[in-house]
Chain A
Amino acid sequence: MGAASPIPASGALLLQQKNPSLRVSLLHRRKGNPFTEGSRELFDLAGQGRIDVFFLGGAQIDGEANLNLVRADGRRFPGSFGSAFMYSVVKKTILFREEHSPRVLVPKVEFISARGDPAALVTGKAWFSWQKDKRRFRLESVHEPGDIRAETGFSFDSADTVPTTPSPSAEDLALLRGPVAKAIAADYPDFAKRVWGIN
């Protein structure tokens, strides 16, 4: 997990609760940080091919899966972080963005921080797969019924009827609200407070 990634971290920790052999490394773990060589180690690991899955977001994501973390419409964003490297070096990159809107999902980014082939795009409203040969997203499921095309600035493929994403099971919810929330709160206190009301 890289910078500012409490959502995928929560997902990974949930999976780890059910599959304890999974290794989850949080870059910004405040206590018990898994890295000993400082902040370069995450990138060295990726360069060695040791990272199986990484997650990336962006201020803007376009229909060709380009990421923009630098600037748009005269506004300055924080910057590309390690995305320009990780996106092309890690075998499986999952794009994520809580906000699903035409503001975020644009036809074409103003600045390409990183270009690559993602494994998927997950937003607060939907899950898309990536068609590598066509360089085009395909809508696989929506979390709630709604007009996804109106909310998405880029064009994409989809089946005629799009299924609804299955809701988390009672067991998954209990794990998320219990041990996962507690683990996340240690490194992302504001996020844990907002999502689970943990102080």
Chain B
Amino acid sequence: MTPRELAQAIPDGALLALPPDYSLPAMAVVRALIVQKKRNLRLLGVPVLGLCADLLIGAGCVAEVESSAVSLGEAGLAPRFSEAAEKGEIVVRDATCPAVHTALQAAEKGVPFMPLRGVLGSDLIENRPDWQVSQNPFSEGEDPILFVPAIAPDIALFHARWADEAGNVWVGRRRELATIAHAAKQTLVTFEESKPGNMLEDELLAPGVISAAYISAAAPAKRGAWPLGMPEVYDIDDAHLALYAGAARTRKGFQRYLDEFICIPEKSSSPASSRA
């Protein structure tokens, strides 16, 4: 399999769960989605979104975003997201981080909803007709609590450090990726390196594994998270993120960025150099 083929498996209109920039996004597949001109994707931030979302939104691939935030971190605001939201070009379903985790955990447990403390008094609730505030059924006195419905994404997409011969992948401490793999109908993964054998047989590796039972397809992608980082393998390319943030401030600059870094013939999953 290749990242391009993983992208081909993602249909227009899919509810696509993506990790934040600090948690192994599958950038090679995101670039392929843009090249393949996907349309009407509905993005779910787990629990926030960054570069992937800004790229996909700027490229016209996205109809809707559910996230607690979309930002480029130290590189600043996500400019394509901001403009699209301000102009009403995408639907934004604002959430708050634990509400996303809780909704995914409900799907992970196979229950229709789960409660969450806090959040009452926030305008987020008014804008989410799908969220309910009800009486805690186990409380004697008045005790309103928020209930969020389960979210089962069509596709979970992320990058992993290793995939083994048995089809398991290793993501280490990034357990939100395990949550989306459990909650989603399909999970597509790129991986940095192959490992022989079965990681589940290694007691030190096993806690960081997502078992093959959850993985629909996996494709190798060296530097597959670039320009984001992979702990202990390569750092975040801060210079490139700053370059993107500057370019993407305007549609023209964003198009130039696409021409230079995205819509290039696929030789490898990362460009040879990052020109500043």
Interface segment among A126-134, A166-174, A185-193: the answer is A185-193
Give A27's nearest chain B residue, CB to CB: B22
B98 to A3, Cβ gap below 8 A? no
Which residues from B are CB-within-8-Å of A36? 173, 175
A39 to B69, Cβ gap below 8 A? no
Give B101's nearest chain A residue, CB to CB: A40
Known contacts: A78-B69, A80-B69. The answer to whether A40 contacts B176 by CB under 8 A is yes
Count the B residues whose beta carbon is within 8 Å of the partner chain — how many?
51
* Nearest CB of B to A64, in Å: 11
Give A116's nearest chain B residue, CB to CB: B121
**Other-chain contact of A81, B22, B97, B105, B235 (Cβ < 8 Å):** B97
Report the separation of the CA atoms of residues A37 and B68 in the bound assembly, to the nearest whole angstrom: 19
Known contacts: A38-B23, A38-B177. The answer to whether A80 contacts B96 by CB under 8 A is yes
Q: Is the CB of B238 closer than 8 A to any CB of chain A?
A: yes
**Other-chain contact of A85, B23, B116, B229 (Cβ < 8 Å):** B116
B122 to A190, Cβ gap below 8 A? no
Q: Is the CB of A154 closer than 8 A to any CB of chain B?
A: no
Most buried by A among B96, B124, B178, B235: B96
A37 to B173, Cβ gap below 8 A? yes
Interface segment among B26-34, B77-85, B186-194: the answer is B77-85
A38 to B122, Cβ gap below 8 A? no
Which residues from B are CB-within-8-Å of A38? 23, 173-179
Known contacts: A36-B173, A40-B175. The answer to whether A31 contacts B71 by CB under 8 A is no
Q: Is the CB of B99 closer than 8 A to any CB of chain A?
A: yes
Report the separation of the CA atoms of residues A87 and B22 in the bound assembly, to the nearest whole angstrom: 23
Which residues from B are CB-within-8-Å of A69? 69
B173 to A79, Cβ gap below 8 A? no
A39 to B173, Cβ gap below 8 A? no
Known contacts: A74-B86, A75-B86. The answer to whether A115 contacts B121 by CB under 8 A is yes
Which residues from B are CB-within-8-Å of A37? 173, 175
Report the separation of the CA atoms of residues A48 and B78 in the bound assembly, to the nearest whole angstrom: 33
Give A37's nearest chain B residue, CB to CB: B175
**Other-chain contact of A39, B20, B77, B117 (Cβ < 8 Å):** B20
Report the separation of the CA atoms of residues A71 and B46 in the bound assembly, to the nearest whole angstrom: 21
Interface segment among A106-114, A135-143, A145-153, A175-183: the answer is A106-114
**Other-chain contact of B74, A80, A85, A190 (Cβ < 8 Å):** A190
A84 to B122, Cβ gap below 8 A? yes
A189 to B70, Cβ gap below 8 A? no
A112 to B68, Cβ gap below 8 A? no
CB contact list, B215-244 vs A, under 8 A: 229, 231, 235-236, 238, 242
Which residues from A are CB-within-8-Å of B68? 79-82
Give A109's nearest chain B residue, CB to CB: B123
Report the separation of the CA atoms of residues A30 and B174 in the bound assembly, to the nearest whole angstrom: 13
* Nearest CB of B to A31, in Å: 7
* Nearest CB of B to A199, in Å: 12
A89 to B117, Cβ gap below 8 A? yes
Which residues from A are CB-within-8-Å of B71? 3-4, 78-79
B124 to A84, Cβ gap below 8 A? yes
A80 to B82, Cβ gap below 8 A? no
CB contact list, B28-85 vs A, under 8 A: 46-48, 67-71, 73-75, 77-78, 81-82, 85
A39 to B74, Cβ gap below 8 A? no
Report the separation of the CA atoms of residues A36 and B99 in the bound assembly, to the nearest whole angstrom: 20
Give A41's nearest chain B residue, CB to CB: B175
Report the separation of the CA atoms of residues A84 and B125 in the bound assembly, to the nearest whole angstrom: 10
Report the separation of the CA atoms of residues A30 and B23 in the bound assembly, to the nearest whole angstrom: 11
Known contacts: A40-B101, A189-B74. The answer to whether A113 contacts B123 by CB under 8 A is yes
Which residues from A are CB-within-8-Å of B67? 79
A39 to B124, Cβ gap below 8 A? no
0/1 interface trace, chain B 103-124, chain A, CB 8 Å (1 if under): 0010000000000111111111
Known contacts: A38-B176, A38-B177. The answer to whether A80 contacts B118 by CB under 8 A is no
Which residues from A are CB-within-8-Å of B164? none
0/1 interface trace, chain A 45-79, chain B, CB 8 Å (1 if under): 00100000000000000000000011100111111
Q: Is the CB of A33 closer than 8 A to any CB of chain B?
A: yes
* Nearest CB of A to B49, in Å: 9
**CB-based closest 5 A-B pairs:** A79-B69, A115-B121, A38-B175, A43-B98, A84-B96
Binding site for B on A (CB under 8 A): 3-4, 28, 30-31, 33, 35-40, 43-44, 47, 69-71, 74-89, 111-116, 188-191
